[in-house]
């Protein structure tokens, strides 16, 4: 058996002497897929009893783990985060979150984004001034929608720039007043259903504009597919016969975060869009 060991040793020695031959480490390592979730408390799973298993981010991660050998995931979901604040975290090097966001994004294979709800909810969620809302609500909400329309394209551009190889799925905004559990027309004497329909609709128009731009874009494509997908969470919630939100209305404000069923609906939309464009096949 000694001669067999000598032959093996000689063979290994020759590998190092022969020119033009490199030992690839890629075949020896498991494939790692990197997933980054950006956004507000919806991404963070606010209100769920078991965030680690029931949030839409966790459900998307589980789907990735069923396809890939290894998954690294970062969830930057933050309570109360507005679109401008997310943009600042990506672009302002003096921001305390700048480095961790950009480090995670540069190698990301998948990025999901939930943002925009707090651009409106900031006026309703924390001890709202009801009389001010009655007098100035339309102006406040209109301004929020106009600013979001300007901010969103910049946000998309910066995410694409910082995550150059990633597929990006952005969730549009569901209307909690469309939920089967919501039966009131007014809250605090304000026509909350009418306000929600009008202004959430305007925010979602901004997402539709992004979707339209992707159709005509010549760049930002991965193997012929748009890098940006818009998950239609709004339609998924509106069409559901199940309760999808943890509706809470009190003197302190309104808290319409998605419940476990709602997060499952969001995950279904995100995963469905990724399946349609072959993302899971590409990362195998």
The answer to whether the beta carbons of residues 243 and 259 sit under 8 Å apart is: yes
The pTM of this model reads: 0.84
Task: Give Rg (Cα) of the chain.
Answer: 23
- Specify if 218 maps to a domain: yes
- Specify if 53 maps to a domain: yes
The CATH number covering residue 276 comes to: 3.40.50.1110
The answer to whether the beta carbons of residues 67 and 28 sit under 8 Å apart is: no
Helix (H) or strand (E) holding 222: strand 221-222
Nearest to 211 by CA among 168, 147, 249, 254: 168
Instruction: Measure the CA–CA gap between 183 and 194, rounded to whole angstroms.
Output: 13
Q: 56 is in which domain, residue-wise?
A: 30-119+152-175+204-246+258-282
Helix (H) or strand (E) holding 5: helix 2-17
Provide the token pair at 237. Answer: 């919630």
Provide the token pair at 8. Answer: 């093996």
- Specify if 86 maps to a domain: yes
- Specify if 158 maps to a domain: yes
- Specify if 141 maps to a domain: no
The answer to whether the beta carbons of residues 249 and 196 sit under 8 Å apart is: no
Number of domains in the chain: 1
- Specify if 196 maps to a domain: no
- Specify if 131 maps to a domain: no
Instruction: Measure the CA–CA gap between 270 and 40, rounded to whole angstroms.
Output: 16
pLDDT of residue 125: 60
pLDDT of residue 1: 44
Nearest to 204 by CA among 86, 74, 92, 115: 115
Burial of 52 (0-12, 13-18, 19+ CB in 10 A): exposed
pLDDT by residue, tens only, the chain of 284 residues: 444 344 334 443 333 333 333 323 333 346 899 999 999 999 999 999 999 999 999 999 999 999 998 999 999 999 999 999 999 999 999 999 999 999 999 999 999 999 999 999 887 765 566 677 777 778 989 999 999 999 999 999 999 999 999 999 999 999 998 887 776 665 666 677 888 899 999 999 999 999 887 765 545 555 555 689 999 999 999 999 999 998 665 545 566 899 999 999 999 999 999 999 899 999 98
- Specify if 98 maps to a domain: yes
């Amino acid at each position: 058996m000694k001669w067999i060991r000598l032959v093996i040793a000689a063979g290994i020695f020759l590998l190092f002497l022969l020119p033009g031959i490199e030992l690839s480490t890629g075949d020896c390592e498991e494939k790692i897929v990197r997933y980054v979730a950006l956004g507000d408390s919806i991404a963070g799973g606010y209100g769920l009893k078991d965030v680690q298993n029931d949030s839409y981010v966790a459900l998307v991660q589980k789907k990735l783990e069923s396809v890939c050998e290894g998954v690294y995931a970062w969830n930057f979901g933050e309570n109360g985060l507005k679109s401008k604040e997310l943009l600042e975290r990506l672009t302002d090097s003096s921001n305390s979150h700048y480095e961790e966001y950009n480090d995670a994004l540069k190698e990301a294979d998948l990025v999901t984004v939930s943002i925009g709800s707090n651009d409106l909810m900031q006026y309703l969620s924390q001890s709202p001034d009801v009389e001010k809302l009655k007098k100035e609500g339309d102006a406040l909400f209109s301004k929020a929608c106009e600013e979001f329309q300007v901010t969103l394209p910049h946000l998309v551009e910066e995410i694409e720039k910082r995550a150059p190889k990633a597929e990006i799925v952005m969730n549009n905004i569901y209307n909690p007043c469309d939920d089967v559990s919501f039966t009131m027309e007014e809250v605090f004497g304000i026509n909350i259903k009418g306000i929600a329909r009008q202004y959430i609709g305007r925010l979602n128009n901004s997402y539709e504009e992004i979707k339209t731009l992707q159709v005509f874009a010549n760049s930002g494509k991965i193997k012929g597919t748009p890098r940006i997908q818009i998950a239609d969470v709004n339609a998924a919630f509106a069409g559901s016969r199940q309760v999808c939100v943890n509706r809470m209305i009190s003197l302190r404000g309104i808290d319409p975060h998605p419940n476990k069923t709602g997060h499952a609906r969001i995950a279904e939309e995100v995963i469905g869009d990724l399946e349609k464009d072959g993302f899971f096949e590409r990362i195998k």
